Amino acid sequence: MIPVQGMAGQHVAVLGLGRSGLSAAQALQAGGAVPVCWDDNPAARERAGAEGLACRDLSKAGAFEDVAALIVSPGIPHLYPAPNPVVAAALAAGVPVDNDIGLFFRSFATPDWDGFDTAPRVVAVTGSNGKSTTSALIHHILTAAGRPAQLAGNIGRGVLDIDPAVDGEVVVLELSSYQTELARALTPDIAVFTNLSPDHLDRHGGIGGYFAAKRRLFAEGGPDRAVIGIDEPEGGYLAGQLSEGPADDRVIRVSVTRKPGGPGWRVFARKGFLAEYRRGRQVVSIDLRAIAGLPGAHNHQNACAAFAVCRALGLAPRAIETALHSYPGLPHRSQIVAQAGGVTYVNDSKATNVDSAVKALSAFARIRWICGGLQKEGGLSGLAGATDRVVRAYVIGREAAGFALQVDADRVVCGTMAEAVAQAMRDAEPGDTVLLAPAAASFDQYDNFEQRGDDFAAEVRKGLAGQGALPPPR
Domains of the chain by residue range? 11-98, 108-325, 335-463
Q: Dihedrals φ, ψ of 329, to 5°?
A: 85, 165
What CATH architecture is 11-98? 3-Layer(aba) Sandwich (3.40)
Average pLDDT over residues 2-18: 97
Q: What pLDDT is stored for residue 156 in this prediction?
A: 78
> Within 10 Å of residue 342's Cβ, how many Cβ atoms?
10
Residue 258 DSSP symbol: S
Q: How confident is the model at residue 355 (pLDDT cuts 50, 70, 90)?
A: confident
Binding residues: 127-133
Distance (Å) of CA 437 to CA 79, 349, 359, 462, 463? 31, 6, 9, 20, 19
Rounded CA separation 474/336 (Å): 21
Q: Residue 451: which region, alpha, beta or left (left: phi > 0; alpha: psi -120 to 50)?
A: alpha
Amino acid identity, residue 177? S
Average pLDDT over residues 159-187: 96
pLDDT higher than 70, residue 474: no
Average pLDDT, the chain: 94
pLDDT higher than 70, residue 471: no
Contacts with 2 (C-beta within 8 Å, 6 or more apart), sequence order: 27, 104, 107, 108, 159, 160, 161, 162, 164
| CATH of the domain spanning 108-325 | 3.40.1190.10
State the greatest distance between any 2 C-alpha atoms of the chain, in Å, as a whole number.
Answer: 68
Query: Tens of pLDDT along 118-150?
Result: 999 999 999 998 899 999 999 999 999 999 999
Query: Tens of pLDDT along 80-91?
Result: 999 999 999 999
| Beta carbons of 252 and 274 less than 8 angstroms apart | no
| CATH of the domain spanning 335-463 | 3.90.190.20
Binding residues for ATP: 127-133
pTM: predicted TM-score of the whole model, two decimal places: 0.86
Q: What pLDDT is stored for residue 75 in this prediction?
A: 87
| Beta carbons of 133 and 302 less than 8 angstroms apart | yes
Helices H, strands E: what count in the chain? 15, 20
Query: Tens of pLDDT along 362-400?
Result: 889 999 999 999 988 777 888 888 999 999 999 999 999
